[in-house]
Amino acid sequence: MSSNSEACAPAASADLHQMAAAGRLLAGVVHEINTPLGSILSNAEVIERSLEMLAAMLADPRPQSLERARRLVGTCQSLAAIDRVASERIRAVIRGLKKFARADGEAPRAIDLNQHLRDSLLLARAEFGSRIRVEADFGTLPEVECFPQMLGQVFLNLLVNAAHAIEGEGTIRARTRLEDGVVYVAISDTGRGMTAEERARAFQPGFTTKPIGEGCGMGLAIAREIIEDRHGGTIGCESEFGHGATFHIRIPVRRGTRGPEGPAAPGSRSVTP
Amino acid sequence: MNQNGHHSPSDHPPSVLIVDDEEMVITSLRAFFELETDFTLHGFTDAEEAARFAEQNLVDVAISDYLMPKMNGIQLLARIKQAQPEASRVLLTGHADKQSAIQAINQVALFQYLEKPWDNAQLLLVVRSGAERARLFRELREKIEELDGANSRLKTAQRRAIEAFL
């Protein structure tokens, strides 16, 4: 853990965060791609073989092989339909990855935050598949001025953490609301929750409850940096061991006059650890 | 067919159970096996339904995905093992982690661990040998039962012979 604490110097934090997020996501993405890929490869073989058989039947047409030929055509048609669905699935995963691939050096933009969160949810599904139910409760929001890719990383990080906290089946809820010029985002899960000690240290760089090699304890520390320092917002969590966890994010709709490297406004830091 | 509804070992084409929460996997495997084999195929997207099926019907080879809602592949294969120990158990998973592989091998005496994307030729080989293995186990059990029967008939005859003399 000590090496992680050292490595979390602000200069290195963005790179580290990228690596941590990439590593965690990779396993999920591989799973999400391998299933449709398996189908596509298998279908290609079956379609080739069916076409060979059909070609042989056409070379020597007999009335009694007509029914068999029809069945082969039917099989090929249904497999082609599956290939289309499977390819769409792979494309969605890759599109999501591209979107989150590079976050540094981006300029602030006004975006539809609900859509952004929806995209993060889609990508996070790569991590947990159908094991976890996702409930989205989005309020009407104005366009929010923010660093979209950084914010995407925060969402993704919270969602992946939430998924890891849930053993077996469970639910993740994402909620957005507009409150007095501030956008409120809550991400909660029905997972194992945190003990008081874990909760107190959750945002501390290098702190992780994951087994060695699975988490470097940087995700929430950087999430706080992104929300508080870059967006002048707040991030906090509430949780009871055995009863899930909720992360609260608040960011102003219009960013202040501060640039991305500017100091946090006084009092903007969350009181929650 | 014998009394409990199961076929005798050698008179049926292999019965293959395919369980994956992704319909596309079942459709692809079904198309492949239908084209290349005479296997009887039973596909389920719901692990619970698959387990109930295996508790009531003969299965030679059970192929299961790992990551599924309700129960994972190892839990499902464990139930199938309990219902019919002779069935060969195959895990076909896109979730390639060593831990689940080791767990599967140790907990459910896995016949084969395959990863997605799978290779049809390899899968076919695995299913054929798995079905053969299941058939041999069932034959062995029937032979043992026959031997037990013959043995007890012999004992009865022996006892009657002794009684006749006494």
pTM for the whole structure:
0.60
Chain A interface test: which of B19, B22, B74 (most A C-beta within 10 Å) = B22
CA separation for the pair B49, B62 (Å, rounded): 13
ipTM here: 0.79
Question: Taking Cα atoms as reference points, which of A72, A64, A224 lies closest to residue A151?
Answer: A224
CA separation for the pair A96, A79 (Å, rounded): 26
Model pLDDT for residues B48-104, shown as the tens digit of each residue: 999 999 999 999 999 999 888 778 899 999 999 999 999 999 999 887 667 777 888
pLDDT greater than 80 at residue A24: no
B114 beta partners:
B92
Under an 8 A CB cutoff, do A35 and B115 touch? no
Cα A221 versus chain centre, distance: 18
Helical residues (DSSP H) of A60-181, grouped into ranges: 66-101, 113-128, 148-165
Q: How do beta strands B88-93 and B61-64 pair?
A: parallel
| Band (B26; pLDDT cuts 50, 70, 90) | very high
pLDDT for the residue B68? 83
CA A249 to each of CA A21, A129, A178, A232, B36: distance values in angstroms, whole numbers, following the listed order? 19, 25, 12, 11, 56
Structural domains of chain A in order of their starting residue, each with its CATH number:
108-252 (3.30.565.10)
Please tell me if residue B87 touches chain A, with a CB cutoff of 8 Å.
no
CA B49 to each of CA B54, B68, B131: distance values in angstroms, whole numbers, following the listed order? 9, 13, 22
Under an 8 A CB cutoff, do B116 and A32 touch? no
Model pLDDT for residues A106-137, shown as the tens digit of each residue: 788 899 999 999 988 888 877 677 788 999 99
pLDDT greater than 70 at residue A46: yes
Chain A residues with beta carbon closer than 8 angstroms to that of B117: 34, 37-38, 40-42
Residues in Cβ contact with A90 at an 8 Å cutoff, skipping those fewer than 6 apart: A33, A36, A37
In terms of pLDDT, which residue wins out, A14 or A55?
A55
CA B160 to each of CA A78, B101, B146, B154: distance values in angstroms, whole numbers, following the listed order? 68, 56, 21, 10
Under an 8 A CB cutoff, do A35 and B25 touch? yes
| Residue A179 DSSP SS3 | strand
What type of residue is B67?
L
CA separation for the pair A201, A58 (Å, rounded): 72
Chain A residues with beta carbon closer than 8 angstroms to that of B69: 130-131, 169
Tell me how many degrees the CA angle A106-A108-A109 measures, rounded to the nearest 5: 115
Phi first, then psi, for residue A83 (nearest 5°) are -55, -40
> Is the domain covering B15-136 a CATH 3.40.50.2300 domain?
yes
- Looking at mean pLDDT, say which of A31-35, A184-188, A220-224, B107-111 comes out highest: A184-188
